[in-house]
Structure 1
Amino acid sequence: MKFLVTGVAGFIGHSLAGKLLREGHQVVGIDSLNDYYDVNLKLARLKDLHVDVAAIDLHKKVASTDASCFEFVKMKLEDGKELLELCSVERFDVVINLAAQAGVRYSLENPRAYVDANIVGFLNVLEACRHYPVKHLIYASSSSVYGANKKMPFSTSDNVDHPVSLYAASKKSNELMAHTYSHLYGVPTTGLRFFTVYGPWGRPDMALFIFTKAILEGKPLKVFNYGKMKRDFTYVDDIVEGVYRAALVPPQSGETATEEYVSNAPYRVFNIGNSKAVNLMDFIRAIEKATGKEAVLEMLPMQPGDVPATYADVAALSEATGYKPDTLVEDGVANFVDWYRNYYQV
């Protein structure tokens, strides 16, 4: 099939594109290559997909230099006209929207970036899928939509009407917008609520990256909520496998209907995580073991917009697709540390 992957130079997008190509699919990837974090890391991911980064130009397709069926286009999701034009020419079978302004803490500093990329940008994706119909639109939601929910594990049947960050609110908005387009125009949509993805090629603003860098440099780690945090850390290869499996099984009309709610929309939302809540201090110990160095800890109170724990119920995704994450945190952390040392030559 022909896939469009947005955010293809990002952490998950890069790994997903590689998976799709290995499975024999044709992939067009788009990314704005913005400077939210080191652009060189994004370009290195594209090089890993055999893109000649020197040939990249705004709105122009660049083919991979190997025999794979991959093309890259530098484009912002906010560029609605250009996105429509691309979809009109390519006629994609599946669109996987991973492009977004990420990060809970950054949303406190630059809220407008989240409205532009995550809401306006997603509206343009929906419009493209409406005017040039696809078999399936997969889009990234987030575990952050659960806010400060205390019921564990988090289930897609839980109320998610009380976000505690603008990032979370933008992702909840995506789910509502997707349902509207599924209902009005029959666009088959699946939202995936990602839970704390980690692994090689990760983002520099993520905990594993920050902690590994600090430990290797002998600098203090900022540990919020005095370390009393739990996260459903999920290895990137497990996430990519789940996204791929979900993409091949579009929702059917009425899939989300319940006794309280009736809808004929081809719409659904899944959690995608490891289904194991790991103590933050145990995660730090895994990094210490992988690096062979002891962390210097700076214990701090909870930050605004953060939550003490996340824990995914992935039964629905497993039932629909056979998804079964199996990477141990110790192994995943070791793989990341190996990548980090090789990439940064430390």
Structure 2
Amino acid sequence: MFFSVVIPTYNRKPILEKCLMALEHQQLSDDKVQGYEVVLVDDGSTDGTLEWLNHHKDIFPHVRPFSQDHLGPAAARNLGVKESRGDIIIFIDSDLVVTEKFLSSHADALMEGQKKYQTDRLFTYGWVINTCNFDDPTSEPYKITDYSAAYFATGNVAIARKWLEMAGLFDTGFQLYGWEDLELGVRLKKLNLKLLKCPAAVGYHWHPPFKLEQIPNLIEKEIQRGRMGVLFYQKHPNWEVRLMIQMTWLHRILWGVLSLGGRLNERTMAPLLQWLIDQGKPQLALEIARIFLNWYNVQGVYAAYQEAQQHP
């Protein structure tokens, strides 16, 4: 098999260097993987990503760069698939740093799965471990908060390109934050593809340590995720999707109660969050902040749904 690692990127040059360097150091010890390429799609970055990559292209021989206007990750991944040469597509994000056995682990899992289940209607999903350690991201241990129950998520997944093409690739209508990968997952599930967990294919997802200054951007992302969640539901109007996008009375009551109807918010909780950050516990502060972030998300979902009902 020949792997095409498709990576959309937007203004992530510092961590992108670590991402690409890790992919240049892959250990392929057997004949399962005939070769690989890294298809990098710059989604209109303004931080000089392409210029930097062109200046350092000699140290990234596997990278084939492409660019587009800022159209979002769905369009970027579609372009990456279109330009790729591999029969197996691996999606990762540009802030993911993988281990040396990353590609070979996905290859082993795909081959073993095909042998065990006597079918190629399957794909593999590796572990994604969140870390804020920029200097040594791969030192972070696996945590319970790293667990994902998603069927198809583009943080670390390997799938035959024929299934992507049969399902129709990503819907580029998802131009804001969220849900474009899970929506494609619904269509892939209809093709009876089996998800195989592949914990040996580890990627370390770096994000900067949580600070109060990040809250406005996080709130905006939750509102966008709410709007895109309604688009998801319009395409697949069923209870499973309602649960995923938090458009149920259960979620409205849950986050309404936990946030005291919005009284626990970015202003009232700021002293506690800052204290936790000062104590060296930014991740705990972020998890607590998710109380009001989820409340913003639920509000965004229902506001977008009401708007869609009024303007069908």
- TM-score normalized by structure 1? 0.31
The structure with more helix, counted as a fraction of residues: 2
Give the TM-score taking structure 2 as reference length.
0.34
